[in-house]
């Protein structure tokens, strides 16, 4: 009987020690968000309709897509952009919360003409960046590209969906 009690006691201690073992640290890996081509966009010079640039675009038009935008991404190629499409022309303000790389924001009226440009929006900045005038579209591209392409107010866009 004493042997059985001792054996039970030893077993109990081993179970307690095993359950008190420090838990292993688990790493949670999230899947990287990658660019999904949903169409094409051309920017045309206002005065001559000459092609300034052709881009592959990802389109944001649902509430979730427009609120998330390019957040949590590491970057995109210079021939890529994200086009935000809103139901109506209105004042819009964007911020760079959880956006890891600098962007140029190109604000576009319902008639497809560029209304204003916000160059070099800073990563993680939560300050609002206003369209300054009512717009229906916003195109986000890598910082510095609007200057490189020599974009001007009044230049036009043409959108092609896949």
For residue 15, being part of any structural domain is answered with no
For residue 72, being part of any structural domain is answered with yes
Contact 100, 123 (CB under 8 A): yes
106 CB-contact burial (10 Å; exposed 0-12 / middle 13-18 / buried 19+)? buried
pLDDT digits (tens, 9 = 90+) for 116-156: 999 999 999 999 999 999 999 999 999 999 999 999 999 99
Contact 82, 96 (CB under 8 A): no
- C-alpha distances in Å from residue 112, one per residue of 11, 20, 56, 103, 106: 77, 65, 17, 20, 11
pLDDT of residue 53: 98
Closest to 85 measured CA to CA, from 38, 133, 37, 138? 138
pLDDT digits (tens, 9 = 90+) for 52-76: 999 999 999 999 999 999 999 999 9
For residue 47, being part of any structural domain is answered with yes
Domain count, the chain: 1
Please report which residue ranges of the chain form alpha helices under DSSP H.
2-19, 63-68, 145-148
For residue 10, being part of any structural domain is answered with no
For residue 30, being part of any structural domain is answered with no
For residue 23, being part of any structural domain is answered with no
In which domain, by residue range, is 89 found?
36-161
For residue 27, being part of any structural domain is answered with no
CATH for 42: 2.60.120.1140
For residue 45, being part of any structural domain is answered with yes
- pTM of the entire structure? 0.82
Rounded Cα distance, 133 and 107, in Å: 9
Backbone phi and psi for residue 149, each to the nearest 5 degrees, phi listed first: -80, -5
């Amino acid at each position: 009987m004493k042997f059985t009690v001792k054996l039970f006691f030893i077993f109990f201690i081993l179970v307690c020690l095993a359950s008190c073992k420090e838990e292993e640290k688990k790493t949670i890996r999230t899947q990287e968000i990658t660019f999904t081509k949903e169409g094409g966009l051309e920017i045309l010079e206002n005065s001559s309709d000459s092609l300034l640039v052709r881009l592959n675009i990802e389109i944001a038009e649902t509430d979730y897509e427009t609120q998330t935008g390019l957040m949590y991404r590491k970057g995109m190629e210079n021939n890529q952009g994200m086009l935000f499409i809103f139901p109506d022309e209105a004042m819009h303000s964007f911020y760079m919360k959880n956006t890891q790389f600098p962007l140029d924001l190109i604000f576009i009226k319902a008639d497809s003409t560029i209304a204003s440009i916000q160059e070099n929006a800073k990563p993680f900045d939560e300050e609002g960046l206003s369209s300054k005038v009512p717009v229906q579209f916003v195109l986000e591209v890598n910082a510095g590209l609007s200057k490189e392409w020599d974009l001007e107010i009044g230049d036009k866009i043409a959108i092609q969906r896949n």
